[in-house]
Amino acid sequence: MTPLAPTYRSLEPPVRLVVLVYWSALLLIFVYNVRVRTRLPVHTGLKDREPVLLMLFRFILTATFFGAPYLFVREWLGLEILLFAVCLLLFYPWWTTRHIAIPLRMPRLAYALTAFGGMEWWFDKPEGPVAAAAWCLSRQRKATKQSVTWAEKQLVPSRPLRASTVAAHAMLAAVRGQFSEARMLFESMLLLHGRTAPVPMWRLCFEWLATDAAARGDWTAVRRFAAHYLAPRVSTLLLLADLAGRPPGKRKASIVEVFLSRLPFRSPNLKPILSGKPTPRCATKELHIVSPVSLEGALRASLDSADPHSASLTVLAETWDSILCDEHLRQRLALRSAALGGGDVDTALHQLRQLVESDLTEAIDAVLKNEESVSGESPLLKSALSSRRRRLLTELEERMARLDARRNKDQALPAIDEWKEFLAFHRTYTSIYAPDESPDRTIAFNMISLRLNSFAVWLHSQKKESVIANAIFRFLLPEARRSNSPSLEILSRNAKLSITDFTIKSERHPRSLRG
């Protein structure tokens, strides 16, 4: 007999049940945290080096867990519960926030618990607590204006940006109902360095994005988020990735599956993510145009509800080319013009052409977003591509000029706005090129590379916005490699120097960057 056995047996059955539940709960919490903590993202290079103090605290807690039965035997039940609660708050505040405050939808409690969060949130206060509070608010049926305002007010605009800042703003946007903005901000976190937010924040980001994509039916995005190198390998994301790999129509998980996925025992199934197989997509409708092509046929094709993709775009453009050059149509219009006593046929056809071309330009955007390429001999399509390119390059130049002007005047925006400006710039830049290799990308890069580098150096050196600067360098680096640019070395150096050990040394800038 062990020292424990007679003690346990001496207890009344109801009390035994309580003790059993208590031990099981402690064990589950311990195992859960160990498993999650050690389940690091693949290929991140993130090293979760626990500070010494934190390790000590965990040891004390572990001792407490296993010392509990002894204390319990001495019937210090109340003290034990109190100690347990204190340990939980002290050592696992985020767990408490996540599993108690947030489900209870208590934003101020969530804020306080996260703010209390010790080492984990050391560099992310008040952003982390605000994100937690906003999470509570997003789960309420209708968040009150006062609570939203209170949460917004906790943010400090003058603090340099970190990934947590973006997460906080994204959650607040979701609370306000601005979901496209929330989505944009969460997605933008993927451009930031992994060390600029604690792991729970990354988990929040990826889970929000993946569940949002699943709710919209965008399973390619679900797979992309779950497979991202910054995404923690948690069961929830793995389940979603698994669902993305299933055929269309079978992509809903039951409540039981969801519940089981949230337990720490399920093994991560990395196969769906790492297999490289494309996400099965729903069948798309092909555009069908009856020949010989007529005006009515072209109009019908323009109203057809087929999905936008490259082949149908080409067909449509060629159809309109033939209509606009059709001599019969021109003759018909000339007769009508005479009957009306005026009216320039060329003007009318030109206006029609402009309408079609503008529409084709937007259709090109939609096709390129689906990661297809656009090409063809159609004059309308070429013209649309050309005007789209010009428009985007002009827009890029204008955005760059605005950044230059602010740098020259030494005018920085609040951190989150500075980030949004860069995101708008990034969006324009990435819109310019097609998935296949295109010299447009080189043109765009040559146009902005050094100026953007100078801007980022200014942000880092003068405005202490190292995280944004680092994101800019890391954005420029692959582009420089691709273009075989002479500025590759400078960018590489700047990327390395702009970000140091963020857990401890984030405020130091030991070496200057090259502009």
Partner 1 sequence: MILPRIARAIEENPFYVLGVRPECTRQEFEREGQKLLSMLALDLAEVRTYNTPLGERTRTTELVRRSMAELREPSRRLLHEILAALPQSEIHTSQPTRPELDDRWVNAPALFGYGRFREGRQ
Partner 2 sequence: MNDRPLYLGIDLGTTNSAASVFDGSLTHLVRTSQGTTLTPSVVRIDARGVITVGTKARRLLESDSDNVRCEFKRLMGTSQRLNFRASGKSLKPEELSAEILKSLRADVREQFGFEPAHAVISAPALFELPQSSATSEAARLAGFDRVELIQEPIASALAAGWTENASGAWMVYDLGGGTFDVSLLETRDGLLRVVGHDGDNFLGGRDFDWELVDLVLERLSSGRPRRLLRSDSQNAVAIRKLKLAVEEAKIELTRMGCTSILLPNLQFGDESVDVDIEVSREDVASRCTALVDRSVAVCLRLLKAQGQEPSKVTRIVLVGGPTAMPVVRQRLSETLGVPFAEGLDSMTLVAQGAALYAASANLDARPSARINPDKGRRIWLQYPAMTSDLSPYVVGRVSEESAPGPASIRFEREGWTSIETPVTKEGTFVASINILPHRANEFRILGTAKDGTDFPLWPSAITIIHGLSLSDPPLSRAIGVALASDRTHIYLERGSPLPARRTFLHEAVQTIIQGNDASVLRIPIVQGEFHKAHLCRLVGALEIRGSQLTASIPSGSSIEVTLAVDRGGRLSAQALTVSGQVFEEISHLLVPDVPAEVLDQAIRDLRKRLSLLFASAFRNKNQGSENTARLGGLELRLTEAERDAAAGRAGDADAAQKARRSLIDIDAELDGLEQEAQFPKLESQAVMELSMAMALVSIHGTPQERRLLEEAAASLEQVRKSRDVIEIQARIEQIQALCRAAFFRDPHAWEQIFKFAASRINSARDLPLARKLVDEGRGAMHRGDRETLIKCTKQLVTLIPFDTETRHLGHDSGLR
Q: Nearest approach, Cβ of 428 to partner 1 (angstroms)?
A: 21
Which residues, 6 or more positions from 434, have their beta carbon under 8 angstroms from its beta carbon?
368, 373, 374, 440
* Residue of 393, 403, 467, 471 that binds partner 2 (CB under 8 A): 393
Q: Is 326 helix (H, G, I), strand (E, B) or coil?
A: coil
Contact 498, 457 (CB under 8 A): no
Residue 461 touches partner 2, criterion: CB under 8 A: no
Q: Backbone phi, then psi, for 39, in 5-degree steps? A: -90, 80
User: Binding to partner 1 by residue 311, rule CB under 8 A?
Assistant: no
Of residues 135 and 202, the one with the C-beta less far from partner 1: 135
Residue 234 is encoded by which pair of tokens?
């948690």
Part in contact with partner 1 (CB under 8 A); list of ranges 81-89, 172-180, 263-271, 441-449: 172-180
Residue 422 half-sphere exposure, CB side, CA atoms within 13 Å?
A: 30
Output 362 or 507, the one with its CB closest to partner 1.
Answer: 362
For residues 149 and 147, what is the distance between their CA atoms, to the nearest angstrom? 5
Query: Contacting partner 2 (CB under 8 A), which of 421, 461, 492, 496?
Result: 421
Those residues with Cβ within 8 angstroms of residue 277's Cβ, 6 or more apart along the chain or in another chain? 245
Q: Smallest gap, in angstroms, from Cβ of residue 434 to partner 2?
A: 10
Residues 222-251 that bind partner 1 (CB under 8 A): 236, 240, 243, 248-249, 251
Alpha carbon 214 to its chain centroid, in Å, reads 14
Say which amino acid occupies 417. D
Residue 398 sits in the site that holds partner 2 (CB under 8 A): yes
Cis peptide, bond prior to residue 439, ω within 30 of zero: no
User: Does 15 participate in binding partner 1 (rule CB under 8 A)?
Assistant: no
User: How far apart are alpha carbons 242 and 416 in whole angstroms?
Assistant: 34
DSSP 377: S
Can you read off the two tokens belonging to residue 469?
């600067």
Q: Per-residue x/- mask for partner 2, residues 59 to 78, rule CB under 8 A?
A: --------------------
Residue 187 interaction partner, one of partner 2, partner 1, none, beta carbon < 5-8 Å per kind? none
Is residue 341 a contact residue for partner 2 (CB under 8 A)?
Answer: yes
Helices marked H in 76-144 — which ranges? 77-91, 93-96, 107-115, 127-139
| Residue 335 in tokens | 């007769």
Q: Which residues bind partner 2 (CB under 8 A)?
A: 145, 152, 176, 178, 181, 341, 344, 386, 390, 393-394, 398, 402, 413-414, 416-417, 420-421, 423-424, 437-440, 442-443, 446-447, 450, 483-487
Q: Which residues bind partner 1 (CB under 8 A)?
A: 102-103, 135, 138-139, 174, 177, 179-180, 207-208, 211-212, 214-219, 236, 240, 243, 248-249, 251-253, 255, 258, 282-285, 287, 295-296, 299-300, 302-308, 312-313, 316, 329, 333, 336-337, 340-345, 347-348, 351-352, 355-356, 358-360, 362-363, 366
